[in-house]
Chains A and B, each alone.
Chain A
Amino acid sequence: MPLWLDLTVRVVAVVAAFLVLPLVVGQAEHKVMAHMQARLGPMYAGGFHGWAQLIADGVKFVQKEDITPRDADRRVFELAPIVALFPYLLVFLAIPLGPGSLVAQSMDIGLFFVLAVLGVGVVAVLMSAWASANKYSLLGGLRGAAQLLGYELPLVLAAASVAMAAGTLSLPGIVDAWSPWWLLWQLPAAVVFFVSGVAEIRRPPFDMPIADSELVFGYMTEYTGLRFAFFLLAEYVGIVVIAALTTVLFLGGWHGPFAEQLGWLWTLAKTFAVSFVIIWMRVTFPRLREDQLQRLCWLVLVPVALAQLVLTAAVKVLT
């Protein structure tokens, strides 16, 4: 295959995944929430079980008036949703789908790249919070920044444990080195990574920055129409990214029966299973209070992650 064709195929595949997977997760959220809370959920759009609801939502968002508050800092306000969305698109490049070269961009330091790029999301939160010229937005943004900075620590420490166990920072390399025993050995790291990952994407029960009963809608309060839809899309892409990373780092990615042929299917199935758990958590748990949120991070997750690092190092040295 010539280089340009190869490149085009990869870019198109990443953009397609970026556009389709979040919609699937969004639809799943509608349906899962409806079933778990014994309510109907959207049932009309499209006829069969309201399958077209998300498309209708999209059309609605496009039609809505795009309002920028008078006192807002216009440029920063308009840029923030794009800054929120863009890092996730980059992360998609590095996530391996199957064995061999079934990854958009094989990187020697893929894990590091992913963590670095995810960290940029905080800037978008602060930008939208400040530029909205709204007290609720600012409060939400400050909560968000404190939360994201705090939870990045256990996230990185847990990921470091896997990198140490695999002896590489490359994401396909980590999946290659994975063996079922890791499910037990790296279990604390997996739990820490998953929990702080959910906190990183500000999903309930970690949605203190949004907290609709206290802060209207946090840093997104002033956004309407397409820009709000961008934030919403970023949230769903975030679910896919965190689920995919948990899959790749801790659940063995493409490992499973017939991994050579069906590896990509295993990765997708595991990713959706983890996404389901994230939706499940939203439906099940009440929102944490701000002090509980920080307490969980600094007094539970960080020590557990550090203990896991010691354990990983000990096992690596002894075997």
Chain B
Amino acid sequence: MTVADALLLALGVIAVGSGALVVTSTHLVRAGLYLVISLGAIAGLYLVLGAELVAWVQVLVYVGAVVVLLLFAVMLTRAPIGPSDDLDRPAWPALLVGAGVGLGLAVLLADAFRWTVYALPEPGTAQRMGEQIFGGWVLPFEIISILLLAALIGAIVLSRPDIGARTGEPAED
């Protein structure tokens, strides 16, 4: 077992463990903070695998923005300190679905790769990443851009009552 293997295992345990705490903790805000740890550990996994850019994108987008928005929303509505005992969480169906998906994916991956050993690709530098995105993957990239732009425009329209579809005419676009 190499250092990288040990690191992968440790980070994986942290990610899965804090992920489990996210859904089992009765402290609302703490659950969000566990999510920070879980996503941070996944960024660590990317780092160990040599995907530096992806790792820091993970930190910038998920830890620095998505979870923060989530915590922000929770704190704006209801964020008691200490456990909340009125959370309605369907524990058994959730356990069934979660464990089923996890197990299924694990079996699928294990079966697909068996004991084949793959060499890691060379570390993903910004240049290689850019060449890939704007070379081979330029069409998906552009489609995602349009999707995000549409979402942005939608958010603006929804949040501004003065330009919405209140007049009765169907909104264009």
| Cα(A253)–Cα(B57), bound, Å | 26
Q: Is the interface of B mostly helix, strand, loop or mixed?
A: helix
Whether A145 touches B72, Cβ cut-off 8 Å, given contacts A73-B30, A120-B64, is yes
At the interface, yes or no: B110 with Cβ under 8 Å from chain A?
A: no
Q: A126-B75, A133-B81 are in contact. Are A145 and B68 (CB under 8 A)?
A: yes
- Interface residue tally for chain B (C-beta within 8 Å): 27
Which residue of A is nearest B69, CB measured?
A149
Tell me whether B126 and A108 are in contact (CB under 8 A).
Answer: yes
Q: A120-B63, A131-B81, A142-B76 are in contact. Are A112 and B53 (CB under 8 A)?
A: yes
- Confirm or deny: A115 has a beta carbon within 8 angstroms of a beta carbon on chain B: yes
Cβ-based interface call for A117 (8 A): yes
Interface residue B125 (Cβ < 8 Å from any Cβ of A): yes
Q: Is B36 at the interface (CB under 8 A from chain A)? A: yes
Residues of B within 8 A of A146 (CB): 72
Do residues B53 and A123 form an inter-chain contact, with CB atoms below 8 A? Answer: no
Measured CB to CB, the nearest residue on chain A to B58 is A116
Q: Within residues 151 to 210 of chain A, which ones have a CB less than 8 A from any CB in chain B?
A: 152, 168-169
B71 interface residue (CB < 8 Å to A): yes
Distance to closest chain A CB from B148 (angstroms): 14
Q: Taking the nearest CB of chain B, how far is it from the CB of A202, in angstroms? A: 15
Among candidates A71, A119, A126, residue contacting B72 with C-beta atoms closer than 8 Å: A126
Interface bits B65-80 vs A (CB < 8 Å: 1, else 0): 1011101100110010
Bound complex: CA of A159 vs CA of B125, how far in Å?
19
Q: Mark A110-151, 1 if CB is under 8 A from B, else 0.
A: 001101110110110011011101000010011001101100
Query: Looking at chain A's contact residues, is the secondary structure mostly helix, strand, loop, or mixed?
Result: helix
**Complex CA–CA separation, A122 to B52 (angstroms):** 22
Is A73 a contact partner of B27 (Cβ separation < 8 A)?
yes
Complex contact B65–A119 (CB within 8 A) = yes
Contacts of B81 in A (CB 8 A): 71-73, 130-131, 133
The CA-CA distance from A141 to B29 in the complex, in Å, is 14
B59 near A126 with CB under 8 A, answer no
Q: A76–B76 contact, CB under 8 A?
A: no
B33 in contact (CB, < 8 A)? yes
Does residue A109 face the partner (Cβ distance < 8 Å to B)? yes
- Bound together, the chains give a CA A145 to CA B32 distance in angstroms of 15
Which chain A residue lies CB-closest to B67? A123
Contact with A116, one of B33, B56, B68, B82 (Cβ below 8 angstroms): B56
- B30, A76: Cβ atoms closer than 8 Å: yes
Contact call B125/A141, Cβ cutoff below 8 A: no
The residue on B at minimum CB distance from A118 is B64
- Residue ID in chain B nearest A168 by CB atoms: B126
Most chain A beta carbons < 10 A, residue from B63, B72, B81, B125: B81
The answer to whether A112 and B30 touch across the interface, beta carbons within 8 angstroms, is no
Q: How far, in Å, is A269 (CB) from chain B's closest CB?
A: 30
Among A123, A146, A168, chain B packs the most CB atoms within 10 A around the CB of A123
Add 20 more A-B contacts to A116-B56, A120-B64 (CB < 8 A). A108-B52, A112-B57, A112-B126, A115-B60, A117-B56, A119-B63, A119-B64, A120-B63, A123-B63, A123-B64, A123-B68, A123-B71, A126-B71, A127-B33, A130-B29, A142-B72, A142-B76, A145-B71, A148-B68, A152-B65
